[in-house]
């Protein structure tokens, strides 16, 4: 799911995102490559918990059927759906939003403002990818949680400075939960950037 999105958004769509946000294209590519696994990890964590997992299922069935992925170019040219994106981040990251934004900024060289602008643009796309997978495969909550955990593992295995590098660093203690690692993440910026 995430690799396909990264290939599109960090490739053909990066210039259009740059035009919409004012973020330099190179930083868009880095931010997409790091930000999408961050969001997927947070959503995988939510899916594992019964209450939050049911809320996630309700949200994707109600609002995120994956149609947004059918017109990525149009979505980007419209500037994304920032209000929806902010709502997703609020639910997904809660009071760790600022920490996640800071971590993404420091890991990629983006400013805090740039990272805070990019994440809400990306989050509806991640939800769309999850929604499409749920619909196409007919997944219940537990099956969806297992699918997201598998996706998270697959991303972490690609530890070649992009997909895996950021994802593995986000889950430093290897417990599959990035939320307990975000607080310590900012201090590791130089390690990631200087690989």
**Domain span at 41:** 2-184
Residue ranges of the chain whose pLDDT lies below 50: 159-165, 167-170, 183-195
The answer to whether residue 190 sits within a structural domain is no
The answer as to whether 113 is a domain residue is yes
Backbone angles phi, psi at 161, to 5 degrees: 85, -10
pLDDT reported for residue 29 = 94
Which pLDDT does position 186 carry in this prediction?
Answer: 40
pLDDT confidence of residue 171: 53
pLDDT of residue 152: 80
Instruction: Name the domain count of the chain.
Output: 1
Cα 45 from Cα 4, distance rounded (Å): 21
Does residue 32 contact residue 6 with C-beta atoms inside 8 Å? yes
Confidence (pTM): 0.81
Q: What is the pLDDT of residue 190?
A: 36
What pLDDT score does 177 carry? 54
């Amino acid at each position: 799911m995430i690799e396909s999105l990264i290939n599109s958004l960090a490739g053909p769509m990066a210039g259009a995102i740059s035009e919409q946000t004012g973020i330099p294209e190179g930083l868009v590519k880095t931010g997409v490559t790091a930000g999408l696994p961050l969001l997927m990890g947070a959503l995988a964590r939510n899916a594992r918990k019964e209450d939050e997992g049911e809320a996630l299922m309700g949200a994707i069935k109600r609002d995120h059927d994956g149609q947004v992925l059918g017109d990525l170019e149009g979505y980007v040219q419209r500037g994304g759906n920032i209000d929806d994106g902010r709502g997703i981040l609020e639910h997904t990251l809660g009071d760790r939003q600022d920490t996640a934004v800071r971590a993404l900024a420091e890991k990629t060289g983006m400013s805090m403002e740039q990272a805070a602008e990019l994440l809400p643009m990306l989050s509806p796309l991640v939800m769309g990818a999850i929604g499409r997978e749920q619909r196409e495969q007919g997944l219940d909550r537990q099956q969806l949680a297992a699918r997201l955990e598998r996706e998270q593992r697959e991303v972490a295995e690609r530890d070649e400075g992009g997909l895996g590098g950021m994802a593995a660093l986000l889950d430093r203690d290897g417990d599959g939960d990035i939320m307990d690692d975000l607080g310590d993440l900012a201090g590791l910026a130089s390690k990631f950037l200087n690989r």
